[in-house]
Structure 1
Amino acid sequence: MNMADGTPKHPYHLVDPSPWPALGAIGAFMLALGGVLGMHPEMLGTGVASVIKAVQWWIIAPGLGLILAVMFWWWSDVIAESRKYHTAVVQLGLRYGMILFIASEVLFFAAFFWAFFDASLFPNSPEMPVRTEAVGGIWPPKGISVIAPFDLPFMNTLILLLSGTTVTWAHHAILEGNKRDAVRGLTLTVILGICFTGIQLYEYINAPFSFRENIYSSTFFMATGFHGFHVLVGTTFLLVCLFRAMAGQFKPTQHFGFEAAAWYWHFVDVVWLFLFFCIYWWGSGKAPIALH
């Protein structure tokens, strides 16, 4: 594989054996298993439904904790590798990988939007009499009070749009070798991400409907909750970038770690715009209520 002097014949970095892919898969399986059993405890029979409800968080919490631990240590390895081994070809491969990852996330959200539009556009479908009866043949479903789109959701929209400008400011600062402005831009972006999460949590606590109430509430919480999880991941991603920027690890010609975080954050922004206009505004009908 190597020449006589020890120089590689290829431009790739061959990583050392790593436990992180296997451990990450185990954590993802535990998280998915706990979530599915929590939402459908009857899958294993009515006799064990109460047991499932009691132990589901003992499955979800370790799974989530394992995923977070794997993310931390795996990213630490990638950061260490980037200082020595990330050639131009390796960086190009990482860019392709990030693009494919974001594309897969788009398909995740496409499933939630599909479920929402299928129910909202055809609430009186003769092919689905059970659903028609459940929603009363109208949308939003009968008896439900929805959240006013131009209250807290609009505030969160402005926050995310502003965060998109601050992360772009940080990017331009890195390209110019301006460490101080890069740190400022990243700090503001992280703060805005935390503010968004806090407002979203307040909205959930005071929502006039519950997850299991009907198809509107379930699609609402699944779509916005999945997006909220992405905001948490993106905020953590940017927080790591902030620490790296403070340590002077980003250079004008080598800062893909930040670029990946910025791409991910812009993706989160775009998804929220679709959520706001489709679910909060268009899907709210004529009976929204304000949260105070």
Structure 2
Amino acid sequence: MATEKYYVPEGSPWPVVASVALFITAFGGAHFIQQATAPETFPGAWGKPMFFVGIISLLSIITLWWRDTIKESLGGLHSNQLGISYRQGMLWFIFSEVMFFSAFFGALFYTRWLIVPWLGGAGSNAMTHELLWPNFQAMWPLVKTPDGTTTQAMGAWGLPAINTAILLTSSITLTIAHHALLEGKRARLIAFQAITVALGVFFLCLQVEEYMHAYTHMGLTLHAGIYGSLFFMLTGFHGAHVTIGTIFLLVTLIRVIRGHFDKDNNFAWEAGAWYWHFVDVVWLFLFVVVYWL
């Protein structure tokens, strides 16, 4: 039975330590990319080890942090009021992620529908076109960079379409698992959640294959002008979110196997499901705007 009192956890070092680990990951990752793409500008090779040290530290901290939270939940310390607070917190977190991706989609829309026509001399911008970039052709995607290098645009009806089908299927399997959780059908819950996790891993493997194909056969890299930058920014950050969601579902799957959830006490499971459905919806927008249109 959960306590009727509002449980206030003791002071924890994990938020501060996790912030430090996240800073190390971001700082090392940024320099890792710069060193890989422009070694003459960023000499040395310390970005890569720093990035992986940050990743390992962050995963370790998250593991310990979740361990403490799980102990609190299993110990009956979480009241209904605390459950409401958790749900509000998760909803605000997802809202912040919506704003995160909105900024990136905004950069894409701004570039495609405002900057490209402006540079192309649309309307009253003919003089701007002649002065800034007289050879510029207003078309999207921009596969020709200012230095004259030509790349290829990523089509929609190959691996991206397969990945879309994978994520849509994963939403269906996770919904079936959710109903199984509420109905107390543990075997079905485990089976369909395991399928969802496998589909998430499959999606990530295909995205790696897509990136390798883009780099080796299409000339589509981070150096491929604004189109390449936006493509890898949007798909890369989405892939990072799929990775987080897959880990989230894997952890809750292990907890399901250990009998931690029931129809009345399942917030952690539902939080993972909310996050996964959010990631799926973002991919639908991304597939239409980045790959299809």
TM range (shorter): 0.7 to 0.9
SS in 2 for 1:124: helix
Segments of 5+ residues of structure 1 without an aligned counterpart are: 1-7, 283-292
From 98, 101, 108, the counterpart of 1:116: 108
TM-score normalised to structure 1 length: 0.85
Structure 2, unaligned stretches of length 5 or more?
120-124, 145-149
| Structure 1 residues 1-292: aligned runs within 5 Å | 11-38=5-32, 49-51=42-44, 54-83=45-74, 84-122=76-114, 123-126=116-119, 136-141=137-142, 142=144, 143-207=150-214, 208=218, 209-282=220-293
Cα drift, residue 275 of structure 1 = 0.5
* Pair 1:131–1:24, CA change in 2 (3 A): farther
| SS of residue matched to 2:288 | helix
- Residue 39 of structure 1 deviates from its aligned partner by 5.1
Instruction: Letter of the 2:88 partner, please give it.
Output: Y
Q: 1:87 to 1:131 in 2, by over 3 A?
A: farther
Q: TM-score, normalising length from structure 2?
A: 0.85
Report the Cα distance in structure 1 between the residues aligned to 2:263 and 2:132, rounded to whole angstroms.
Answer: 55
User: Per-residue CA shift, 1:56-115, capped at 9, x if unaligned?
Assistant: 112211112111111111111111111211110011000000001111111111111111
Q: Relative to 1, partners in 2 of residues 1:193 and 1:134: Cα closer, same or farther, differing over 3 Å?
A: farther
Counterpart of 1:70 in structure 2: which amino acid?
A: I
Write the distance in 2 (CA, Å) between the matches of 1:131 and 1:231: 40
What secondary structure does 2:230 align onto? helix
Residue 132 of structure 1: how far off its partner (Å):
6.0
Q: Which amino acid aligns with 2:113?
A: L
8 Å Cα contact 2:31/2:47 also seen in 1: yes
Give identity over the alignment, percent.
40
Which of the pair has the greater relative contact order for Cα pairs under 8 Å at 6+ separation? Answer: 1
CA–CA distance in structure 1, aligned partners of residues 158 and 54 of structure 2: 35
| CA distance, structure 2, for counterparts of residue 191 and residue 14 of structure 1 | 36
| CA displacement, residues 10-31 of structure 1 (integer Å, 9 cap, x when unaligned) | 8321212222101110011112
Q: 1:80 to 1:133 in 2, by over 3 A?
A: farther
Q: Which moved more, 1:160-169 or 1:63-72?
A: 63-72
Amino acid at match of 2:60: A
CA drift at 1:151: 1.0
User: CA separation in 1, counterparts of 2:103 and 2:57?
Assistant: 26
What is the CA distance between 1:133 and its match in structure 2?
7.3
Q: How many residues align?
A: 268
